A = this chain, B = another copy of it.
Amino acid sequence: MAKKNSYPLIIDSALTLIAEYGLEKTSLSMIAKKSGISKPAIYHYFSSKEVLLDHLFELLFKDYRFEQYFPMDTYTKDNFSRLLTDNGLQLLQEYEENPEALKIINHFIGYSGQNRAYDEKIKLILTEFLDGFQRLLLLGQRLGVIKKGDITAKAQILGLVLDNISSYLLMGIEVESTAVWSQAVSYVMEDD
């Protein structure tokens, strides 16, 4: 039936199913059934289930970069505190608005324990966020808005808090995300 739309159909169906059932319990049969596309046709696009998953992985994490959410060149002495707060809240809001994506991401993270490739990439991404916060705080220090003291530790606290707020949100644990992130930000800022 569907001629030209098979590819996105496969992607969509796979993502929806993975969000609900996870990576391992989502079988190619399920994807074929949901998308209305035959299994061999899926193999035409993706030479194995693993390749399909890899593709989804890239899709999901492609734009998940520190600079995407915290564009350093926009930070100034005056807007530093506000931007840092807002950018973080923006990131959290994106997750709240699209919990399905967060679910899928979490399935990949859970699966990464058994898959070297994902493991490495996820480590890279998270590390890049930690480094990003460190660079940002160093900039703040130069601008004179960030307290002296262990910059690395403070950057890591920001990274750990922001990352884990979304995990808790996903699990449905009630965290006062706005208050928590604001507190964390004000903690690293020089008192006015």
Residues of A at the B interface (CB closer than 8 Å) are 20-22, 24-25, 103, 106-107, 109-114, 119, 122-123, 126-127, 130, 149-150, 152-154, 156-157, 160-161, 163-165, 167-168, 171-176, 179-180, 182-184, 187
- Cα–Cα, bound, A184→B153 (Å): 9
17 new A-B contacts at CB < 8 Å, known A130-B173, A157-B180: A22-B111, A22-B113, A24-B25, A110-B110, A112-B171, A123-B171, A127-B173, A150-B179, A152-B176, A153-B176, A153-B183, A157-B183, A157-B184, A160-B175, A161-B161, A161-B164, A164-B164
* Chain B hits for A107, CB < 8 A: 110, 113
Majority-rule SS of A interface residues: helix
- Cα–Cα, bound, A180→B107 (Å): 27
